[in-house]
Amino acid sequence: MYVVGTAGHVDHGKSTLIKALTGIHPDRLKEEQLREMTIDLGFAWLTLPNGEELGIVDVPGHRDFIENMLAGVGGIDAALFVIAADEGVMPQTKEHLAILDLLQVKNGIIVLTKVDLIDDPDWLDLVELDVRDSVAGTILADAPLVRVSSHSKEGMNQLILTIQDLLSTVNPKPDFGRARLPIDRVFSITGFGTIITGTLMDGSLQIGQEVELLPEGIKVRIRGLQTHKKKEVVASPGSRTAVNLSGIDASLVHRGQVLASVHKYQPTKRFDAYLQMLISSTFSLKHNTQIKLFIGSSEVLSRIRVLGKEEILPGENGWVQIEPVTPIVGIRGDRFIIRIPSPGETIGGGLIVNPAPQRRHKRFSEEIIKKLEAYLQGTPDEIFLQAVQDAGIGTFEDLSKKAKLEKSTILNFYSDLINQEKIYQLDKGEVEAKSNLLVCSSHWLNDKKTKSITILDNYHNQYNLRLGIPKEELKSKLKLDPNVFVAVLEVFQSQKIVDAVGNSIRLKEFIPSLSKNQKSQQESLIKSFEESPYATPSVKDCITTFGEELVNYLFAEKFLVSVSNDVAFLNEHYLEMQNWVISKIDSTGSLTAAEFRDKFQTSRKYALAFLEHLDSKGLTLREGDIRRLRKTSR
Q: Please, what are the domains in the chain?
A: 2-167 (3.40.50.300), 180-261 (2.40.30.10), 271-377 (2.40.30.10), 378-513 (1.10.10.10), 521-633 (1.10.10.10)
For 511-548, what is each residue's pLDDT tens digit? 887 888 888 999 999 999 999 999 999 999 999 999 88
> Given this model, what pLDDT does residue 614 score?
95
> Given this model, what pLDDT does residue 30 score?
43
Q: What average pLDDT does range 161-166 have in this prediction?
A: 95
Percentage of residues of the chain with pLDDT beyond 90: 58
> Given this model, what pLDDT does residue 65 score?
39
> Given this model, what pLDDT does residue 37 score?
35
Which residues have a Cβ under 8 Å from the Cβ of 481 and sit 6 or more positions away?
none
For 195-213, what is each residue's pLDDT tens digit? 999 889 888 999 999 999 9
> Given this model, what pLDDT does residue 203 score?
86
Report the Cα 140 to chain-centroid distance in Å.
Answer: 25
pTM, 2 dp = 0.63
Q: Looking at the predicted structure, is the pLDDT value of residue 219 above 50?
A: yes
> Given this model, what pLDDT does residue 29 score?
39
Residue 516: strand, helix, or coil: helix
How far apart are alpha carbons 535 and 520 in whole angstroms? 22
Least confident of 27-36, 282-291, 332-341, 423-432: 27-36
CA torsion sign for 177, 178, 182, 185 is: positive
Residue 539: strand, helix, or coil: helix
What is the b/e burial string over 344-377, where b = at least 16 CB atoms within 10 angstroms of the residue's CB?
Answer: ebbbbbbbbbbbebeeebebeeeebbebbeebee
Q: What average pLDDT does range 413-435 have in this prediction?
A: 87
How far apart are alpha carbons 61 and 14 in whole angstroms? 8
Instruction: Identify residue 15 by its one-letter amino acid code.
Output: S
Residue ranges with strand state E in 380-462: 393-395, 423-425, 438-441
> Given this model, what pLDDT does residue 464 score?
85
Q: What average pLDDT does range 295-306 have in this prediction?
A: 94
Q: Looking at the predicted structure, is the pLDDT value of residue 98 above 70?
A: yes
For 360-401, what is each residue's pLDDT tens digit? 999 999 988 988 887 787 788 888 887 888 788 999 988 887
What is the b/e burial string over 406-418, where b = at least 16 CB atoms within 10 angstroms of the residue's CB?
Answer: eeeebeebbeebe
> Given this model, what pLDDT does residue 62 score?
39
Q: Looking at the predicted structure, is the pLDDT value of residue 159 above 90?
A: yes
Q: Which of 291-300, 392-401, 505-514 has the highest mean pLDDT?
A: 291-300
Contact 480, 492 (CB under 8 A): no
DSSP assigned state of 28: -
> Given this model, what pLDDT does residue 33 score?
42
Reported confidence tier of residue 218, pLDDT bands at 50, 70, 90: very high
Percentage of residues of the chain with pLDDT beyond 70: 94
Torsion, Cα of 584, 586, 587, 588 (10° steps) = 80
Reported confidence tier of residue 454, pLDDT bands at 50, 70, 90: very high
Torsion, Cα of 120, 121, 124, 125 (10° steps) = -130
Reported confidence tier of residue 632, pLDDT bands at 50, 70, 90: low
> Given this model, what pLDDT does residue 389 score?
83
Which residues have a Cβ under 8 Å from the Cβ of 99 and sit 6 or more positions away?
7, 69, 70, 73, 337, 346, 349
Q: Which residue has the higher pLDDT, 481 or 435?
A: 481
Q: What average pLDDT does range 603-628 have in this prediction?
A: 94
> Given this model, what pLDDT does residue 32 score?
34
CA torsion sign for 609, 612, 614, 616 is: negative
- Please, what is the end-to-end C-alpha distance for the chain in angstroms? 61
Torsions phi, psi of 299, nearest 5? Answer: -130, 115
Strand partners, 291: 302
How far apart are alpha carbons 81 and 565 in whole angstroms? 61
Q: What average pLDDT does range 494-517 have in this prediction?
A: 89
Q: What is the mean pLDDT of the chain?
A: 88
Q: Looking at the predicted structure, is the pLDDT value of residue 72 above 80?
A: no
Reported confidence tier of residue 174, pLDDT bands at 50, 70, 90: low
Contact 510, 537 (CB under 8 A): no
> Given this model, what pLDDT does residue 99 score?
86
Least confident of 86-100, 268-282, 371-385: 371-385
For 36-59, what is each residue's pLDDT tens digit? 334 346 788 899 999 888 888 877
Smallest CA-to-CA distance from 322 within 346, 296, 354, 298 is with: 354
> Given this model, what pLDDT does residue 358 score?
82
